[in-house]
A and B are shown apart, each in its own frame.
Chain A
Amino acid sequence: MKFLQLPPQVQWSIAAIFGLLVLATVVVRVLAAVRPQANWTELRQRINSWWLMAVVFTTAMILSRRISLAFFAFVSFMALKEFFSLIPTRRADRRVLFWAYLAIPAQYYLVYIEWYGTFIIFIPVYMFLLLPFRMVLVGETDGYLRAAGTLHWGLMVTVFSVSHAAFLLILQLKDRPDEVVGPGLVLMLVVLTQLNDVCQFLWGKSLGRRKILPAVSPGKTWAGFVGGVATTTLIARFAGPLLTPLDATQSLIAGLIIGIAGFIGDVNISALKRDLQVKDSGSLLPGHGGILDRIDSLTYTAPLFFHYVYWLFDWQTFGAGAVGL
């Protein structure tokens, strides 16, 4: 049983996530019984979708490393597909889009073989050079810049950014290579990013008055932002030392990064949706919207948290040696 190979703190955290979901389900049931006149459908749908996401995510994490990586690759695929379905695309670029999709297996294969040097430049350099070349071969120049720009932007947001969460999973400390640190780091990133969303929402609902970015996201308030970042930082201060090699101060800073970056990632996708004049990016997750709506914060927190952690410690050197080239 792979579950037992995870560090006990990670096991306890997974148990805590489900504890929290049971609590949320019970609270909403009780509230709905006390005040049946209010509409609880959306909150209920939202929590049901959380159950689904928690079960899928933890199952993927527990089963094996391959399955965890495949899970992140699938999330990238769904997000990129949602993005390509939302934006205006050119008929002529059908085959270019197909090449863009192929970046997903390539990028996650690089994670799988632990080839950091290529993982970090594959999309920003190679895909950046390849897609316009493929477009030139098609030969359609009307709307060329818009197409080249939007396609690469989508790849960066949905594949490059998200794949950093997957790379966290395979990190190993140089001086303690036998210690399993990856799952703890991923759990800290993903759970804090999602908790940060929930906290910003709850603080905003209860105290929020002054709008923070009315032109982009009218629902967001200063109270939601500050309360959310503070709560996330506080939770990180205690979760970090338990789950990861980070000490208390380092965890505090990590919490601050996740809190602030999560907000920016959220409004980044809000601005995209406002530009495209849609309310939700899709309908995959009832109560939440689409997959982009759910991973918006993660597209900012994953690379920033990853590079902070990567800078803090000495990791096993990845590269040609690790692949045996």
Chain B
Amino acid sequence: MNHVLRFLFFALLIRPILLVICGLNVRHRERLKCDGPALVVANHNSHLDALALICLFPLSRLSKLRPVGAKDYFFRNRWLAWFSTRILGVLPLDRDRKSGRRDLLAPISDALRDNQIVFLFPEGTRGDPEELSGFKTGIAYLAKRHEEVPVLPIFFHGLGKALPRGEALLVPFFLDVFVGQPLHWSGNKADFMEQLTRQMRGLAAEGNFPAWD
């Protein structure tokens, strides 16, 4: 990562856009631990999700914050790959299952062993704006492999309104952020996924969101 450019990018561009032009309305902020390692999982509505997660943490922690992004998307050409690696600090996730028996989650595991805070969107892709879709189970493998690492669910609302998929014009809205309770591997994949889904639905139900249709 290019620490200087990354710092400037977030301090001068992303934080003013997300904290002033939009504005984060964080519920249960006390549950956010700024020390790694941690695996933060969130619902995915907009390109801004990963940036908003980074803005939840103080700038001084910036070098520890690593969003996970699809390799086929964030590394699809040289320029984007440079930006993804140096500025966003993306950990590449290879979605192509045919690529042999390599450990697809290795970059994430390495980051967690290095006490970093990893952001993951287990819905897999940006879904329909402001709709919660099913979670992929890769998160359960990670939780099992790193039993000591807390899994922190975060629910976002509003980013899909401010900048939905396929739109380039940002329209200011306050963004609601709900921080959940940290989870640990429970010994059973189905049980773990069930806990995670229940927490996310619970966080979503805490908000009283206006209709958007």
A interface residues with partner B (beta carbon < 8 Å):
77-78, 81-82, 84-91, 94-95, 97-98, 101, 276-278, 282-284
Contacts and interface: CB of A to CB of B under 8 A. Distances in A.
Query: 8 tightest A-B contacts by CB?
Result: A88-B211, A85-B174, A88-B210, A85-B173, A81-B172, A98-B171, A94-B171, A97-B171
Nearest to A277: B208
B174 A90 contact: no
Contact of A284 (B23, B158, B161): B23
B167 interface: yes
B25 interface: yes
> How many interface residues does chain B have, given as a range?
10 to 19
Interface in B168-184: 169, 171-174
Given A87-B210, A97-B171, A277-B208, 14 more contacts: A78-B23, A81-B22, A81-B172, A85-B210, A89-B210, A89-B212, A91-B213, A95-B169, A98-B169, A276-B210, A282-B25, A282-B174, A283-B25, A284-B23
Interface of B: 22-23, 25, 129, 158, 161, 164, 167, 169, 171-174, 208, 210-213
Contacts, number: 46
Given A87-B210, A283-B25, A94 B169 contact: yes
A55 to B, nearest CB: 18
A97 B213 CA distance: 14
Contact of A94 (B167, B174, B210): B167
A283 B164 CA distance: 24
Contacts of B171: 94-95, 97-98, 101
Contacts of B129: 91
A82 B174 CA distance: 7
Contacts of B25: 282-283
Chain B interface helix/strand/loop/mixed: loop
Nearest to A78: B23
A86 B173 CA distance: 9
A91 B212 contact: yes
Nearest to A86: B210
Given A90-B213, A94-B167, A84 B208 contact: no
A95 B23 CA distance: 19
Contacts of A277: 208
A94 B161 CA distance: 8
Nearest to B167: A94
Nearest to A284: B23
A94 B22 CA distance: 14
Contacts of B158: 85
A91 B213 CA distance: 5
B56 to A, nearest CB: 15
Contacts of A91: 129, 212-213
Contacts of A95: 169, 171
Contacts of A284: 23
13 contacts: A81-B173, A82-B174, A85-B210, A86-B210, A88-B210, A90-B213, A94-B161, A94-B164, A94-B169, A97-B171, A101-B171, A282-B174, A284-B23
